[in-house]
Amino acid sequence: MQAVIGNKYYYIQNINFMHIDIITLFPDLFTGIFSQSILSRAQKKGIVSVEFHDLREYSVNKYKSVDDYAYGGGAGMVMQIEPIANCLEDLKKKRTYDEIIYTAPDGERLNQSIANELSLKNNLCFLCGHYKGVDERVREHLVTREISIGDYVLSGGELAAAVISDAIIRVIPGVLNDETSALSDSFQANLVSPPVYSRPAEYNGWKVPDIILSGNTKLIDEWSLEQSIKRTKERRPELLK
């Protein structure tokens, strides 16, 4: 199977095992997401394992709090460095991480190339932010990468961590039943996907293009590429740069 990183193609010969740790204040938020569909199948196949770690278990006080007021004033609370450092120290006793990722609104914007790159790793850790964010020293000294899923703010980093995990896991060789399927997804090779059709060939007077029904694989592939380029120019022209 090929992986696309930037504009380069890498051939993946072996199925790698990936472990993901997610540090969160709300572990139960992930229960449904990781127990369904592709994410569930990846775990059942033994290709991926995922663990959720409640940050409150690493609190340094009897109230299990992990946040405090910001120095200098201002509205909102800040996630403290001590519980996060304690949690990471504990997790690092078990494995060495390729990346420790903080889900930050101002991080690098997630794209398919980043997902492909991270899918080649073995051990990833996600830190889910909350409130006004984490103590800046966490960002300076404890995490290795910061990733955003868009220019908007969520109530917490859990949804972002789930989105990034899904984008990564689905392109790991062996996860999808048809491994070539991921290569035709939108944003692979910086193109959006072409139109797709299914039965019936005609519905309400709306017909599937004749070329799709021709059975000529070469012509269909050429048509699909043309449509991908056309759609990309119309809808996401910045990808072609």
Question: Domain segments of the chain: what residues?
Answer: 2-169, 191-240
CA-based max dimension of the chain: 70
pLDDT digits (tens, 9 = 90+) for 36-94: 999 999 999 999 999 999 999 999 998 999 999 999 988 899 999 999 999 999 999 99
| CATH class given for the domain over 191-240 | mainly alpha
SS3 content of the chain, % helix, strand, coil (to 5): 40, 20, 40
Q: Are 161 and 103 in contact (CB under 8 A)?
A: yes
Residue with tokens 């790991």: 172
| Whole-angstrom distance, CA of residue 234 vs CA of residue 191 | 11
* Residue 186 pLDDT > 70: no
| CATH class given for the domain over 2-169 | alpha beta
Average the pLDDT over each of 1-15, 186-200, 227-241 and give the range with the smallest value: 1-15
